[in-house]
Structures are given as C-alpha cells and as structure tokens.
Amino acid sequence: MKSQNDGFVFIEVLALGIFLSVVFSAAVYLMKVRQRNLISFQNENIYRNEIEVTVNAIFNDFLSDNTPEAVSYHDPVFRNARDFKNGMNVSIECVSDRMNVNFIDASFVNSLKSEPGVSFQEAALKLKKIRQKRQFGKAEDFDSVFFTDIGFADINTVSPDSLNLLLDEYGCMNQSALFLERLKSYRKNGTCIRNFTGYKMFFGVSYEDVWPFIVWEPQINVNCADVRLLEKLLDKRKCSEIVALRKTKEINPVMLSEILGNRKKTYGELLLGTTTSFFSIKVRNKCLLLSVIIGKVPSENKSEEKNRFYILEKKYEKEI
C-alpha cells in the first residue's frame, strides 16, 4: 500500500520536471535571442562598414576635384554617386545654394515678385522680426526652394544687421561700428572683396575671429541652384543663358563673368558664384541610412591644390 508521502514525492518530482523544462526552454530561447542579436549586431557592423567605405569614396571624389573653383553635376563625385552597386543608394544634394535666411538682405527679399504659394513680402517681414530679436532664423519657416539656413556669410552681400549680429557672436562687437561703416563705404563705391588679401584688409587682425564663418565667396552656385531661384535673381536673358549652358558643361568664374557683364552688378547677381559650400550626403543600404552634411572652406591661398572639408553633421538611422 502506497503512503500519502509517495504521492507528494511524485507531485514534487513532476513539478521539478516541469520547472526544469521551463528553465531549459527559457535558456534555449534566450540563447536563440542572444544568437539572433549577435548576428544582427554583426550584420549591422557589416552594413555600417559598407556605408563608411562608400562615404570615404565620396570624400575622395570631392578632394580630388580638378576644378575646385567650380562645382557642378558634371563633376565625377555626382556621376559616381549614381553608379554605386551592391544595394547602395547614394544621393548628394547642394544645400547652401539658396538665399540664406540669416544673411540675405530683407529689403532685397521684399523686392522680389511673389508667386502662388510663395510670398516674398511675408518672408521679408519674418526676416525683419527675427533680426529685431537678434536671433538666427530656421529654414523650415521659409520656402525650401528659395531659402536655406546652411552656409557661410558672404561679406559682399551679407545684410548690415546680420553682420552686426555675427560680429557680436564671434567677439568683435567693440569693432562693429567700424566694420559696418567700412561695409557701407565699400558698397557705395561698388568695391567687392574677392581674395584673402582684401578680406584681411577689411577685417584687420580681427579676421582670425570671423574666419571662416564670414567669407568672400558668393553662396549660390549657378551650376546647381534651382531654376526658379535663378529666375528671381537674374533677368530673363542671363537666366536662360546660364540654364542652357550648365546642361552641357560646368560654368566656371570666367564664364559667369562673361554672362553677367562688366557693368556694376545688381545685388541678385552678387549672390551668384560657381561653387557650393555645403553638401548633404545620404547613403542607404538594407540596414542603415547615414546622413552627412559637409562644408567646404574657401581656400586662403590659391596655390593650395586641395579643397578642405569638414563634417557639420553625421547621423545614422536604422532602416525599417
């Protein structure tokens, strides 16, 4: 005859067996999860390395540009971006070739003819309010075809109130009255700064404080700017000539100068150059998206063979 204790022992053994089975199953599950996470981590590293290799190739293309005085979609860096294989998707965008909300003259913006969906008069009013508060604006508050907040300030076109704010930002507030008066004189006489020597003459020893945030190069590249923007900045003939020419070749400074002519340039024409300062690079594969914004610093010396770039922003995102 079985005792009552035998029943309890059987139940305890059964419970222990169930418990061990659950523990074992959980352990197996955790091992699988860990293995899956490890594989996922390894795959992510592989995909990340693929992207880094691609980005380095793009950087090398930028650095090896044989015509640093001009940037266009005819350059190898843009052509090569369309040819990447192995599931890589690459896009390069010129993000500074618009009117910069922090440096453009609000009165000039106000003078532009509005079009459906875009009121330049409202934009000018926004700019004035921002500057009255001595603040920097954001491009998201303006039409992205015409405006940006990425770029350098060109001393030849920066608005006086923007220059005043920049001088304060970079520790030159005590000399702002001097520089603003000098700027007024330069513009009255039609004097433009087009090299580092002229730049240092304007700012004196203070150039070290404002370089390279304030430069002497136009910030809207006629090779890459949106046609709708060019139509606002140029007369119809010059705009048509530029748009037609850039389809077949890269417009360099000499070509642009011939198109614009030798007479005193309008403010809109002064905004135009042949190179781009900031680029957005996006590289995507099956796992990750890398977004990078790089800036090109104007050369202090024309004898320098290579452009100098720096990374303004770099961000990874997982693709869903």
Note whether 186 and 36 are within 8 A (CB). no
Looking at residue 11, its pLDDT comes to: 52
Note whether 312 and 260 are within 8 A (CB). no
pLDDT band for position 40 (50/70/90)?
very low
Overall average pLDDT of the 217-224 stretch: 96
Looking at residue 41, its pLDDT comes to: 42
Q: Which residue type occupies 9?
A: V
Looking at residue 264, its pLDDT comes to: 85
Q: Which residue type occupies 21?
A: S
Predicted confidence (pLDDT) per residue in 253-288, tens digit: 999 999 999 888 999 999 999 999 999 999 988 888
- Pick from 161, 106, 99, 157: nearest CA to 133: 161
Residue 302 has pLDDT above 70, yes or no: no
Looking at residue 104, its pLDDT comes to: 97
Q: How would you write the chain as a 3-class SS string?
A: CCCHHHHHHHHHHHHHHHHHHHHHHHHHHHHHHHHHHHHHHHHHHHHHHHHHHHHHHHHHHHHCCCCCCCCCCCCHHHHHHCCCCCCCEEEEEECCCCEECCCCCHHHHHHCCCECCECHHHHHHHHHHHHHCCCCCCHHHCCCCCEECCCCEECCCCCHHHHHHHHHHCCCHHHHHHHHHHHHHHHHCCCCCCCHHHHHHHHHHHHHHHCCCEECCCCEECCCCCHHHHHHHCCHHHHHHHHHHHCCCCCCHHHHHHHHCCCCCCHHHHCEECCCCEEEEEEECCCEEEEEEEEEECCCCCCCCCCEEEEEEEEEEECC
The residue that leads in pLDDT, 27 or 59, is 59
Overall average pLDDT of the 169-180 stretch: 88
